[in-house]
Structure 1
Amino acid sequence: MPSTQSVSLPLPSDFRYQDFIGFHQRDKTELSERVDGMEIHKGVLMNAIPCRLSLSLGSEIATMTINADADENALSDSEMTLLAGRMLGLQQDIAGFESKYQNHPDISRLLSHQHGLRIPQTTTPFEAISWAITGQLISVDAAISIRRRLIEATGKPHSSGIWCLPDEHILANTDIDTYRACGYSNSKATTLQRIAKAIVANELDLSPDRDPTDIGKALLAIKGIGPWTVSYVLLRGFGYLDGSLHGDVAVRRNIQRLLDSDEKPTEKEAQKWLTEFAPWRALVAAHLWAMDKDKAY
């Protein structure tokens, strides 16, 4: 018999519901992520078990429910509480950031329009890695399409009909031709396969209690991984708010818009501008992304 477990936790009064909903509405086909009002459903593999993870957002409380295609619970209650808080970005020091920069001559305008902005997290660090590699140097729409084809080719369906994202065990054993058929370049395919194999072989430790900078160094040592990918993975997969996304095209474009400059800053200029906002550089980048309301990076 399938198992069902639930946990609830309070939401802050300034929680931005549409940011969280929008992050899970990137793929309009809703193959692996579906939105129904203030509830999202996501197909995930937990210990190789197909699960439907649901998060229902109330006015004051969020409730996570996991339906597993097994007769045992996928997670403990404490693990569920931690996962729900991570996915919702509730551990992020948003208040400290906004208090420090509420009068800043440049980003105070962003904070006034985007008060309470926090970063929705992926269910696992590997999900963040696979998305970051997929999205390297291409548009969000193109990345969504390629990701969808990979899920169709390698994912597993939950009994509800939603498809579960492939985990590292599946992608470690996925041949390069399958990646290529989904739209990956040869370099991206080999990089994603290489990382999946390293995780499965316990050669790459992505434990959430590790120092994010140590994880970043380990990722940078892998061929095919650059600074942008590392910063994105640490942001979406670990809630690390100080990665420098100065190489991101949208970040640079919106720095130009924010500062009303004639030219888009170079990567070095963007890096220098973001340095002032440590240890919240990636959070500033997220505020810059939010200027493009029709995209969910």
Structure 2
Amino acid sequence: MSENREQSRWARGTIDGVELDFERCYRAVDSRDSRFDGWFFTAVTSTGIYCRPSCPAVTPKAENVRFYPSAAAAQRAGFRACRRCRPDAAPGSPEWDVRADVVGRAMRLIGDGVVDRDGVPGLASRLGYTERHLHRMLTAELGAGPLALARAQRAQTARILIETTELGLAEIAFAAGFGSVRQFNDTIREIFGSAPSELRKPSRKRHAEPGAINLRLAYRPPLHAESLLEFLALRAIPGVEEADGGTYRRALRLPHGAATVVLTPMPEYVAASLRLSDVRDLAPAVARCRRLLDLDADPVAVDAALSEDDALAAVVAKEPGVRVPRSVDGWEMAVRAIVGQQISVPAARKVLHHLVDHEVIPPESASTERQVHDQQLRAFPSAAEVAGMADGAFRMPGARRGTIRALATAVASGELGLDPGVDRDDAVAKLMAVPGIGAWTASYVAMRAIGDPDAFLPTDLGVRRGAKALGLPDQPKALDAHAAQWAPWRSYALIRLWRAA
């Protein structure tokens, strides 16, 4: 097995109660390998600071080094975040993006701000476990429980708001999810070694307009940005999203209100400009943008695995770092999938535009729920809104309209969840139980809404055409059998087949 393939499986041995191989971690730090940023964190006992593996500082002596699987674990052990490499802003671990177990689901939900909104009881309830058992599982694998993990995220959110907005520090404290200003001050001092006021640099130009926040979204290179933007642009719903050149814009529906985001891929990061109706939504907005562009993926490991198939090796070498375009809203993606059944992409866009444009917004809610700042974009209608729409909003056969209404009812009632924190197998089974949803639709939703990295669509016409172009079997059964060797990255292979078509 090549070192690239091994990268996602190398955590073995025990250090400070977590599974990390000291020698391999130390080699990554010594070589300043940015591929491991987010996989683990390096703490130095002589300085009391923790860093990314790629930190440009001098490599510390081995006897002074400790390795932790999360920033929260390093903070819990008493280490402060490095001001130079900003370990708190490292890409998320691809392990939590891929894993479908309880720990992976918990990490995705914490990233989306569930603990800040509903507390640990709400997180445990979503996952179907007791708080005590959930704490035990997370601590065993991450060195920190759900409160500590959420606290680390709050500190990062607060730092962004301090450095990029003119909000008062007390406002930032509550916007970031802290229970009090004192808790906010103590946490910032403990994690960053500075008072909140010291993090706010007077010389840095910030946006005075409320709700405007600019930040950088880190990723592991390579990133084939062109494929992401082309995919999103081709399927953009007028009025909800748009793409031109190297930029993608869209409206978001977040827990506390509406927002817009402008995403521009750069050589080392994705520039994000957020306009939020409520700054409490910063963490979930960032999490959803990262998810949309698949920024926490490990492209080196994925590409190495797919390159082992001679039929894919050339396209992988030509376009390294192709990601799976995901979604900011699982419900929206499910509707897109249903509308797209057996019709072309342009035709699906027209149907979806009519659905969005047809909805009537009550005047009292227009400013807070759907209307968006400067671009006049608005979020895709909610499940409850779609369930109440008149037949004229649906330019599609009656059976398909019934499928969307049935899905809307299930999502609005809470019977069916489609966010990345759900149990993937359970969600797919519930989707398949909705009349009119078959294997193609369920798999498409699993890939783009729920985040399954191993979904595959062997009956899809575009996939079959791409397979034929690359010299692969183009009949569904034969293609499905051949694709088994691409596990657990069949979703990434599928995107490449679509591009080949």
Q: Does TM-score exceed 0.5, indicating one fold?
A: yes
Instruction: Give structure 2 stretches of 5+ with no counterpart.
Output: 1-208, 361-369
Partner in structure 2 of residue 87 of structure 1: 292
Aligned to 2:380: 165
- Which amino acid counterpart does residue 159 of structure 1 have in structure 2? H
Change (3 A) 1:228 1:118: same
After superposition, what is the alpha-carbon deviation per residue over 1:161-214, rounded to whole angstroms, capped at 9, x for unaligned? 2233222221122133321xxx22111111111111111111112242223222
CA contact (8 A) 1:52 1:66 kept: yes
Report what 1:295 is aligned to: none
Structure 1 residue identity aligned to 2:471: L
Whether 1:144 aligns to 2:144 is: no
Tell me the alpha carbon deviations over residues 247-272 of structure 1, each in whole angstroms, 9 at most, x when there is no partner.
Answer: 111111221221177xx42x222222
Q: Which amino acid aligns with 2:322?
A: L
Which amino acid letter does the alignment assign opposite residue 218 of structure 2? Answer: P
Aligned partner (choices 468, 487, 494) of residue 278 of structure 1: 487
Report the TM-score, using the length of structure 1 for normalisation: 0.86
Cα pair 1:87 1:121 within 8 Å, conserved: yes
Question: How do residues 22-61 of structure 1 correspond to structure 2 at under 5 angstroms?
Answer: 22-26=230-234, 30-47=238-255, 49-61=257-269
Q: Deviations over 1:97-126 (max 9, x none)?
A: 222232422121221222111112211111
**CA distance 1:110–1:27, change in 2 (3 Å):** closer
Tell me the equivalent position of 2:389: 174
1:138: how far off? 0.8
CA contact (8 A) 2:294 2:326 kept: yes
Q: How far apart are 1:74 and its partner, in Å?
A: 5.6
Counterpart for residue 167 of structure 2: none
In structure 1, C-alpha distance between the alignment counterparts of 2:482 and 2:274, rounded to whole Å = 42
2:499 is equivalent to residue 290 of structure 1: yes
Report if aligned partners of 1:94, 1:117 keep a CA contact under 8 Å in 2: yes
CA apart distance, 1:230:
1.0
Contact 1:27 1:33 in 2 (8 A): no
Counterpart AA for 1:167: S
Between stretches 188-197 and 15-24, larger displacement belongs to 15-24
1:181-192 equivalent positions in 2, closer than 5 A? 183-192=395-404
DSSP-derived class of the 1:42 partner:
strand
Q: Quick one: higher RCO (CA 8 Å, sep 6+), 1 or 2?
A: 1
Deviates more, 1:37-46 or 1:20-29: 20-29
Equivalent residues of 2:288, 2:327 under 8 A apart: no
Structure 2 counterpart of 1:132, which letter? A
* Match status 1:202 vs 2:407: no
Correspondence for 1:73 among 255, 275, 279: 279
**What CA distance in whole angstroms lies between the structure 2 residues aligned with 1:62 and 1:28?**
19
Which residue pairs with 2:196 in the alignment?
A: none
Supply the AA of the counterpart residue of 2:451. Answer: G
SS class of match (2:259): strand
Which residue type is aligned with residue 251 of structure 2?
G
TM-superposed CA distance for 1:281, in Å, is 1.8
Distance verdict in 2 for CA 1:76–1:43, change over 3 Å: closer
Equivalent position to 1:108, from 310, 313, 334: 313
Q: TM-score, normalised by structure 2?
A: 0.53
Partner of 1:122: 327
Residue pair 1:5, 1:73 contacting (<8 A) in 2 also: no
Contact 1:174–1:193 (Cα < 8 Å) also in 2: no
* DSSP 3-state at the match of 1:238: coil
Q: How many residues align?
A: 283
Compute the displacement of 1:283 (Å): 1.7
Shift of 1:42: 0.4
For 1:65 and 1:28, locate their aligned partners in 2 and report how far apart those are by CA, in whole Å.
19
CA RMSD of aligned residues (A): 2.4
Letter in 2 for 1:250: G
Q: Relative to total residues, which structure has the larger helix share, 1 or 2?
A: 2
Aligned equivalent of 1:4? 212
How big is the shift at 1:219?
1.0
| SS of 1:97 mapped into structure 2 | helix
Counterparts of 2:338 and 2:291, CA distance in 1:
21
Asked if the contact 1:21–1:40 (Cα under 8 Å) also holds between the matched residues in 2, the reply is yes
Identity of aligned residues (%): 22
Q: Which residue of 1 aligns with 2:143?
A: none
Aligned residues of 1:228 and 1:248 also touching (Cα < 8 A):
yes
Give, as a single letter, the amino acid of the residue that structure 2 aligns with 1:285: L
Unaligned runs of 5+ in 1: 293-297
